[in-house]
């Protein structure tokens, strides 16, 4: 399928470009009229089926562009910015123009060198920098080599062999180009006319027809075929040959339309036919004997799509065509009850609540930091708290909106753990500040809020996949998602927050912040202890609920699966810390050091077990996360080491002070 798209685009773009070369000049990108705002809005809310989920085209276009470009916008050849839907429409209707848009992100110049590309000026200097974007036309000369190398990498992956970083990047670029090509050739069928064999012209009433025109006459074709079979002899054979030739031409014309966008809802109810249709599916269904009356509306809309391709240079005509197409497709989806949330999801995408909450948290942290310089000020802390509450409200609003759109509890994917755990941790910080009023929760709330949401966005970009994808079958239960999954993630949040508080203690002692304020540090220790108790309670309950769910799904309460082991590790480490504290083994320094080390246990259970790619819980595997997780471990090892250094230094200072004062009381450096 992908090879068909690749060949189709390789033939299509040169032919289209040839028609504009004279007017535009050699090597110069052709232009197209801008899309009207009403068209962009209508198509933003137009439903498409992707990976079994009905979503607005805005979501589909946004994630496709993010995979290619690492951004929600595309830049045209002349430097203008396009939204995801505008870019998507350009690739569909103006592929020869979109081929000049620099949308392919290449993070490593070695990828270009490996496939035989070099972007150098007359002096031998690079004309492109790392992370620059490249147009399809820039990469076209190397596509053959790129696809051959990518096929080798795919073969190695199937054989479960080790893949190098460069090989992975080559493979990603090749797959991105294949996705782009599939979209660019999707409307090939609308750019051709099918020659009607002479013996059929009287029956069909034309010497040539569009694909939709032929599908609209499919009943006449079937009647002609039946007559040819009855006639037999030389006449019947001639008629049969004509039908076969027309059938081959129709299949060839529709061949490139079998991939996305899948935007034609069928006429049957959802219970009878769940999957939506492409133009290829419509043609196959009619050729396979489905009554023409059942797809009459779809064929009429297919004709509207062909008209839009023909009228693409006329802004008024193409606007009328596309608005009519969008209206008809939406009406089909509404009759099946599948259009209810499309407009809401498109609005959700535009609202960007996570992005806005991140900015608010960053500003709140900045205000809190300024407040440290003026500790006597009363308004700055209040402003920081108010901003943190605004950021939290935006974050909770995002989580709630997603729940409504998906009709699910707040967590059903690895991505959704980020905003949920961040929200719980921010609430915990604000509660700590309300109880203790020592400024620690005030500073940590916006810091954790901004950090967690930046990581959420980064994870989404790394995965490059729609964050609202349908659940795998074993997870498709709202009850256990609302109980086990939510509870265990609250436990994760408790463990992470305890680690952050422990880091504040260690780094504060290291730099001498409020060195003489023993009550301040005692207060942090109490916070760490209380948050660990909170986290342990939810971790234990969540783990038990997970066992009950496992017993229902797999017939056993516990199977030593990596994810189960990770949850058990969290419970054991928290219990060990609390027992160490109660037994006097861990005092203030020890408690905070252990809390920081415990964050690595939480990180392993949260992400690390998925990277093992074994067990029944590896739903979020992505090899690109390993480097990020290594950085996380490295940071915590560094903080732990700095804490040990500060502990050793303070102990030496206390011993020196004790020696200098004789029988004087030593400072509580070891407490």
What's the pLDDT tens digit per position in 378-433? 788 889 999 999 999 999 999 999 999 988 889 888 889 999 999 999 999 999 98
Q: Which two tokens stand for residue 294?
A: 């059942």
pTM here is 0.86
Average pLDDT estimate for 67-80: 89
User: Which residue shows structure tokens 């769910």?
Assistant: 549
- Percentage of the chain with pLDDT > 70? 89
- Per-residue pLDDT reduced to its tens digit, 178-225: 999 999 999 999 999 999 888 888 888 888 899 999 999 988 888 888
Cα separation, 348 vs 357, whole angstroms = 14
Cα separation, 600 vs 154, whole angstroms = 33
Cα separation, 222 vs 206, whole angstroms = 16
Average pLDDT estimate for 32-47: 93
pLDDT of residue 233: 77
- Per-residue pLDDT reduced to its tens digit, 142-169: 999 999 999 998 888 888 777 888 888 8
Per-chain mean pLDDT for the chain = 85
User: What are the φ/ψ torsions at residue 264 (nearest 5 degrees)?
Assistant: -105, 105
pLDDT of residue 14: 45
- Per-residue pLDDT reduced to its tens digit, 328-359: 999 999 999 988 889 999 999 999 999 999 99
pLDDT surpassing 70 at residue 623: no
pLDDT of residue 5: 40
Cis bond upstream, residue 610 (ω within 30) = no
pLDDT surpassing 70 at residue 447: yes
User: What are the φ/ψ torsions at residue 194 (nearest 5 degrees)?
Assistant: -95, 125
pLDDT of residue 13: 46
Least confident of 228-232, 335-339, 404-408, 622-626: 622-626
- Does residue 86 or residue 24 have the better pLDDT? 86
268-286 residues labelled b (16+ CB within 10 A) or e (exposed): eeeeeeeebbbbbbbbbbb
- Per-residue pLDDT reduced to its tens digit, 526-582: 999 999 999 999 999 999 999 998 888 788 888 888 888 888 999 999 999 999 998
- Per-residue pLDDT reduced to its tens digit, 358-374: 999 999 999 988 877 76
């Amino acid at each position: 399928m992908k090879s068909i798209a690749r060949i189709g685009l390789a033939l299509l773009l040169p032919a289209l470009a040839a028609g504009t070369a004279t007017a535009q000049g050699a090597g110069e990108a052709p232009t197209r009229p801008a899309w009207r705002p009403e068209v962009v809005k209508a198509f933003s809310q137009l439903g498409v089926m992707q990976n079994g989920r009905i979503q607005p085209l805005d979501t589909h276009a946004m994630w496709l562009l993010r995979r290619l470009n690492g951004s929600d916008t595309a830049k045209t050849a002349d430097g203008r910015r396009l939204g995801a839907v505008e870019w998507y429409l350009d690739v569909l209707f103006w592929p020869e123009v979109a081929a000049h848009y620099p949308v392919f992100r290449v993070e490593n110049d070695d990828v270009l060198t490996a496939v035989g590309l070099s972007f150098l000026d007359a002096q031998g200097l690079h004309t492109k920098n790392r992370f620059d974007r490249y147009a399809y036309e820039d990469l076209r000369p190397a596509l053959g080599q790129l696809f051959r190398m990518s096929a080798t990498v795919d073969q190695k992956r199937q054989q479960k062999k080790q893949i190098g970083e460069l090989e992975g990047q080559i493979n990603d670029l090749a797959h991105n180009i294949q996705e782009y090509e599939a979209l660019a050739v999707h409307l090939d069928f609308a750019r051709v006319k099918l020659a009607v064999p002479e013996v059929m012209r009287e029956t069909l009433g034309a010497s040539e027809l569009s694909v939709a025109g032929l599908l609209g006459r499919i009943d006449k074709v079937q009647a002609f075929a039946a007559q040819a079979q009855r006639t037999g002899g030389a006449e019947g054979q001639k008629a049969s040959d004509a039908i076969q030739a027309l059938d081959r031409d129709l299949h060839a014309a529709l061949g490139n339309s079998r991939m996305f966008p899948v935007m034609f809802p069928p006429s049957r109810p959802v219970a009878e036919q769940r999957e939506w249709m492409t133009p290829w599916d419509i043609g196959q269904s009619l050729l396979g004997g489905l009554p023409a009356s059942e797809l009459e509306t779809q064929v009429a809309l297919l004709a509207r799509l062909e008209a839009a391709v023909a009228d693409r240079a006329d802004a008024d005509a193409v606007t009328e065509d596309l608005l009519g197409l969008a209206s008809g497709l939406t009406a089909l989806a509404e009759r099946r009850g599948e259009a209810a949330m499309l407009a809401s999801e498109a609005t959700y995408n535009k609202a960007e609540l996570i992005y806005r909450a991140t900015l608010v948290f960053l500003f709140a942290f900045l205000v809190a930091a300024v407040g440290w310089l003026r500790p006597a000020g009363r308004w700055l802390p209040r402003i920081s708290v108010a901003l943190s509450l605004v950021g939290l409200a935006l974050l909770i609003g995002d989580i709630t909106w997603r729940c409504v759109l998906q009709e699910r509890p707040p967590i059903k994917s690895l991505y959704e753990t980020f905003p949920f755990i961040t929200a719980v941790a921010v609430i915990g910080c604000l509660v700590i500040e309300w109880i203790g009023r020592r400024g620690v929760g005030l500073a940590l709330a916006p810091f954790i809020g901004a950090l967690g949401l930046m990581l959420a966005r980064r994870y989404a970009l790394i995965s490059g996949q729609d964050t609202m994808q349908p659940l795998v079958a074993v997870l498709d239960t709202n009850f256990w998602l609302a109980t086990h999954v939510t509870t265990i993630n609250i436990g994760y949040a408790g463990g992470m927050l305890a680690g952050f508080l422990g880091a504040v203690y260690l780094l504060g002692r290291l730099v001498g912040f409020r060195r003489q304020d023993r009550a301040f540090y005692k207060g942090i220790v109490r916070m760490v202890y209380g948050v660990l108790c909170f986290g342990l309670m939810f971790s234990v309950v969540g783990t038990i609920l997970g066992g009950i769910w496992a017993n229902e799904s797999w017939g056993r309460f516990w199977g030593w699966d990596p994810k189960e082991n990770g949850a058990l590790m969290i419970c054991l480490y928290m219990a060990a810390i609390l027992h160490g504290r109660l037994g006097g083994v861990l005092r203030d320094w020890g408690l905070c050091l252990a809390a920081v080390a415990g964050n690595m246990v939480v990180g392993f259970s949260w992400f690390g077990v998925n990277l093992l790619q074994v067990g029944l819980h590896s739903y979020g595997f992505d090899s690109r996360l390993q480097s990020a997780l290594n950085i996380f471990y490295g940071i915590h090892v560094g903080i732990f080491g700095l804490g040990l250094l500060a502990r050793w230094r303070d102990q030496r200072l206390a011993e020196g002070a004790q020696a200098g004062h004789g029988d004087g009381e030593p400072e509580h450096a070891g407490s």
